[in-house]
Structure 1
Amino acid sequence: MFVVKTYPEFSWSLSRHYTLTECKRRYAYQYYVSHNGWLKDAPPEARHAYRLKNITNLEMFFGSIVHETIKKAIDYYLQTNKLPEEITLREYIRKRLNNGFLDSTRRKEQWFKHPNKTTMFHEIYYKETNQLPTEKVEKITHRLQVAMQHFLSSQTVHELKTQSIDIKEAEKFRVLRIGQLKVYVVLDLLYYDRSKNHWVIVDWKTGKRSEEDLYQLALYVLYLMNAYSIPHHQDIVIRNEYLLEGDVAEQQIDEVTLEKVQELIGTSVDWMYSLLEDPSQNQPLPLEEFPKTDNKNTCRFCNFYELCYS
């Protein structure tokens, strides 16, 4: 049964760590002020922060829809032994994009009341316009044209058709426990390849190729070793499928990186605890103890901009 708590449960994730590194005020709004903001009797600032927390941008929204669509396609294949046609997948994504645009421009009142069930684009909310930037629309249109083509021709889909793999998990939050600490990890797809006797973690990439965050990959490996009692990290392959370029890259994480990410977690948790009034309750210090960043360029893209500068 759901129980309303005054303060949220403490947990750790790499995104939480990076949020704190980027701006303490944003961290406070994201993880504390917005807590319980979905309740009708929540304080106005909590409701306001919760609404802003649910704002997305066009690239993030597109990425989330592509991941959702791929999961549906793989589920369908496991049930029918067939993959949907490219045009079917592309049209599903197009409809979801259009619906997000309509939410943001014609259903603002619904978003105000139910921000977790309605889409609001950062580009529309903060520009106070009903139009998305032309360059962004063109970029997403191109990605829509190529993403599903590259998914269907990907190495992962090829291996799926060989019938030599056992899919374990797809698109859900996982919890890695380090002592009493909950560490959240999200894997796109996880399977065991019987023909090669190794585990494969698949990460679908919907943006341009960039320098990979080794700590994020190390968290994937730590989770897998813990959840499936895998003794050797050498038995785990991490595969990035770049849906924009149609390329694939595989790598393995070494022991040194695994140790470093665990050290990072410990240091980061200590830092987060130093911002708590009462660690046993996860009660934060007063908001003024969470200063704003000096990087005004970062502020322009922050969901909580109007709480800081309105």
Structure 2
Amino acid sequence: MFKETIYPEFSWSLSRHKTFLDCQRKYAYDYYIGHNGWKNDAPTISRDAYRLKKITNLEMLFGNAVHDIIFNVIKQYLSTNHIPSESELILRLRNILNTAFQDSMHRKSLWIARPKYYTMLHEIYYNGSLPVEKVNDIQERLDVCIKHFFNSKTFTDIINKRQMRFVEAERFRYMKMNDVKITIVMDFVYRDIQEGKWIIVDWKTGKESFEDRHQLALYAMYLQRAFNVKDLDEIEIRNEYLLSGTHKSYKLNPVDLDKLEEMFGLSIQTMLNYLEDPEQNKPFSLEYFPKTEYEKKCERCNFKELCEMY
């Protein structure tokens, strides 16, 4: 149940951690200044921060749209055994992208009034148009990612294996560590009864990154705690790279999770140092959060407009 508060609840996530490392001023706008910015009587800076936080970019929009489509395809298959055609999914994806383009170009005033219900692309908001090279790149990815999803190991397993236990479809989960809520967004989890292991799957629409394994390690830690998994050998973590049509699976050991917990602790403690009142999660004033020294990062930031004003 939603409860209105003066300050947001403190929690930790990988995306929050990355934002903090990227730029503390961006972190302040994202996690504190924009809180309650949806209210009509909120301060102007809060309403602006809330609105700008909702901006996305073409790559993020595409990735989120592919994830949502896959999520719904698997959910539908598990309940009805129906599999939509490749062309149908491509059409769905194109419609999502086209609607976002129309929102950004022609419905800006509606987005300003109700940013939660319309889409604004960073490229259009700050530069007025979509770069041709980005559009061409997304066009190439579109057909490829859908095709590779149908041919992926995970979807093949879903169709061909019957001795499987599927974890509830809820994608947003959390666990507590030292009284801090750790938020986790998982794409897909299932139990292979025949093999006697849990499989955690993360769909990737971009290129491989060194951070991919760390993200899945967090998921494995959650799974171990939530389902009382005794042995890490029972957990397989898998990245499905839809752009290349490949996948990578990993096994973890206790050292991996120890390093993850150490990273949690350091990250959380550093964030708490920016709070005037940790109990209320009340931050220090905006000036306490420095802007990044790397101006190239500012070109990609949603809050560039605010940084030029304050």
> Shared fold by TM > 0.5?
yes
1:103-143 Cα distance to aligned partner (Å, 9 max, x none): 1011101110111111000000000x2x3110001000011
Residue-by-residue CA offset, 1:202-244 (whole Å, 9 max, x unaligned): 1101012232443322211110011111111111001111111
The correspondence of residues 24-103 of structure 1 with structure 2, limited to 5 A, is 24-103=24-103
**Aligned-partner SS, 2:252:** coil
Q: Percent identity?
A: 48
- Paired position in structure 2 for 1:106: 106
Whole-Å Cα distance in 2 between the matches of residues 249 and 63 of structure 1? Answer: 19
Aligned partner of 2:230 in structure 1 is 231
- Asked if residue 193 in structure 1 is aligned to residue 221 in structure 2, the reply is no
Aligned position for 2:257: 258
Give the Cα separation in 2 of the matches to 1:170 and 1:300. Answer: 36
Q: Please identify, of 163-172 and 140-149, the stretch whose mean Cα deviation from structure 2 is larger.
A: 163-172
3-state SS of paired residue (1:249): strand
Taking the aligned partners of 1:55 and 1:171, their CA distance within structure 2 comes to 25
Give, in whole Å, the separation in 2 of the partners of 1:198 and 1:87: 34
Q: Say if 2:111 and 2:120, in contact at 8 Å, map to a contact too.
A: yes
> Which amino acid in structure 1 is aligned with residue 270 of structure 2?
W
Partners of 1:210 and 1:19 lie apart in 2 by 17
Looking at structure 1, the residues matched to 220 and 188 of structure 2 have their Cα atoms a distance apart, in angstroms, of: 13
User: Does the CA-based 8 Å contact 1:159-1:165 persist in structure 2?
Assistant: no
Contact 2:200 2:216 in 1 (8 A): no
Partner in structure 1 of residue 131 of structure 2 = 133
SS state at 1:214 partner: helix
Task: Report the aligned-residue RMSD.
Answer: 1.1
Matches within 5 A, 1:265-304: 265-304=264-303
Give the SS at the match of 2:276: strand
TM-score, length-scaled by structure 2:
0.97
Deviation at 1:157, TM superposition (A): 1.1
Q: Do the aligned residues in 2 keep the contact of 1:73 with 1:83 (CA within 8 Å)? A: yes
Q: Does 1:159 align with 2:161?
A: no
Question: Contact between 1:171 and 1:188, CA under 8 Å: does it hold in 2?
Answer: no
Report deviation, 1:293: 0.7
Contact 1:221 1:236 (C-alpha < 8 Å) held by counterparts: yes
Q: Which residue of 1 aligns with 2:142?
A: 144
Q: Which segment drifts farther, 50-59 or 260-269?
A: 260-269
Contact 2:202–2:216 under 8 Å retained in 1: no
Runs of 4+ in structure 1 off by over 3 angstroms are none
CA distance in structure 2 between the aligned counterparts of 1:150 and 1:227, rounded to whole angstroms: 31
| 3-state SS of paired residue (2:112) | helix
- Cα distance in 2 between the residues matched to 1:140 and 1:269: 36
> Structure 1 length normalisation: TM-score?
0.97
Shift of 1:171: 5.8
8 A Cα contact 1:217 1:253, kept in partner: no
Secondary structure of the equivalent of 2:168? strand
Find out whether 1:174 has 2:159 as its counterpart: no
Counterpart-to-counterpart distance in 2, 1:23 and 1:121: 21
Which residue number in structure 2 is paired with residue 209 of structure 1?
208
Alignment CA distance shift 1:231-1:252 (3 Å)? same
Question: Quick check: 157-166 or 111-120, which moved more?
Answer: 157-166
Residue deviations 1:245-295, cap 9 Å, x none?
111111112211100110111111111111101011000001111010100
- Partner Cα distance (1:233, 1:13) in 2: 22
Return 215-224 or 97-106, whichever deviates more: 215-224
CA distance change for structure 1 residues 305 and 14 in 2, over 3 Å: closer, same or farther?
A: same
Measured in 2, the distance between the counterparts of 1:252 and 1:306 equals 44
Q: Secondary structure at the match of 1:39?
A: coil
Alpha-carbon distance change, 213 to 153 in structure 1, aligned in 2, over 3 angstroms: closer
Q: How far 1:50 sits from its partner (Å)?
A: 0.4
Gap runs ≥5 in structure 1: none
> 1:169: Cα distance to partner?
3.4
